[in-house]
Amino acid sequence: HYEVERCCKIGSGFRHLKSRQLSGRSNAPRSFWDTSGRYSFGCPKVFASLYFSEQDNEEGAVPCSEAQRRFYEEISKPEDEINLIHASLYIAQDDLRLSDEDVVETSEEISRIVANFEKRKPTVDYPMRIIKAVNKYLYAELGFDGASEWRDSRNVYLPYVVRRRLGYSVSLGLIYREICNTHGFPVEFVGMPGHFMLRALGRGEPADSEMDLYIDPYRQGEVLLRLEMEHRLGSMLQSSKRVELEPKFAEAETKRRTLYRMLRSLKRIYLHRAQLESALSVVDKLNLLDPTNPFEKRDRGILLYYFGKFESARHDLEMYWALKTSAPDNLLLRELFREIKRVGVQGGRHRSHARTLSQTLLGLLKHEDEPQQL
């Protein structure tokens, strides 16, 4: 059994019943709570591949932070109970090593943003009137806008987005969705490739209707019909013709799938910037979200190898090969595996250049099939 900090809600925010003071944030340990960066208490079955102390460090183990525990608890709930705002804040807390106070502050600010829309809500609940009211409030009054820099992780993390009023489609969409759903106008993310869009629900038409309203949170709440969405998709794919929207792209995404795509966006950003420690933090959570995904096992194994965690790296890569015996990247990885075994026997530390390794991982990402079952 293990001890977990229990949360209680205050409004839409949350505070921890227990609190510990951090002496500073610049050198905060990865686990937040203890100076060793690891935990000393036991581990349940679900965390069997994670270690919390030197004596519990079994072959194939990787560290786990308290924020990762909270993230896992959130995504383990039934679909309709998962809170996307909370899960997204746990992602930010883990990656940015934020204190509980930082997380609570952001949560409470989002709660205020959501609550204050009540005064601006139109008296007639026509979809377009509600959308226009949300757009005026969120973008014109509060000043939120789509960020132009495509490789800045701050545009994904909610604490930065709320503070800077800049974000990508996923982070702006989370706030937009929270406002609409709280005030009786349900919207959900849809699976459009490469860009997070929202679709208005509950209009009486079938889910895949020509009259569905699609909302682009990145472009200040621009509203598109299905035909316009297909033209937008064609433009994104650099096609001069309209691209017919596959049914799966018009369906509401599950919350786990939304979080998966959010984490994948962060992963690409960190690999492009060769920030491999941050990339590893993201890949840790991708493995919690989808533990059967062989590609995330592979990428975590490669990153662990880079940081000298050879036994853990070998464990992840062996799991990858067991799942993907005929993968096209096997030649590259088998050479890496031989190097892992050699270093494990002879001792030493891997000194591969971070930029080269990042480019290798980005190249591998192009050949992956993203899971649809989340």
**What's the confidence (pLDDT) of residue 324?**
72
Q: Are 358 and 151 in contact (CB under 8 A)?
A: no
Q: Evaluate whether 214 touches 225 at the Cβ level (below 8 Å).
A: yes
**Residue 7's CB: how many other CB atoms inside 10 A?**
17
At residue 252, the 3 state secondary structure works out as: strand
Which one, of 140, 129, 130, 178, lies nearest residue 158 by Cα?
A: 178
Highest mean pLDDT out of 46-60, 316-330, 344-358: 316-330
Contacts 24+ apart (CB under 8 A), 325-332: 327/294, 328/367, 329/298, 329/364, 329/367, 332/360
Q: What is the pLDDT of residues 198-236, one digit of tens each?
A: 999 755 555 556 678 999 999 999 999 888 887 777 676
- Tell me: pLDDT of 77 over 60: yes
Considering the entire predicted model, what is its pTM?
A: 0.78
Residue 43: the pLDDT is 32
Considering only CA atoms, which of 55, 26, 25, 59 is closest in space to residue 39? 55
Q: What is the pLDDT of residue 202?
A: 56
Tell the residue number behind the tokens 């984490």, with chain if given: 263
- Averaged over 170-183, what is the pLDDT? 97
Give the pLDDT confidence score for residue 210 in this predicted structure: 63
pLDDT exceeds 80 at position 50: no
The residues spanned by each domain of the chain are 7-97, 107-250, 292-365
Q: What is the DSSP string of 132-149?
A: HHHHIIIIIIS--EE-S-
322 has pLDDT over 50: yes
Per-residue pLDDT tens for 132-169? 999 999 999 999 999 998 899 999 999 999 999 999 99
Enter the CATH code of domain 107-250. Answer: 3.10.620
Supply the DSSP string of 152-190, one letter for each residue: -GGGTSHHHHHHHSEE-HHHHHHHHHHHHHHTT--EEEE
Q: Identify the helix (H) or strand (E) that includes residue 223.
A: strand 222-224
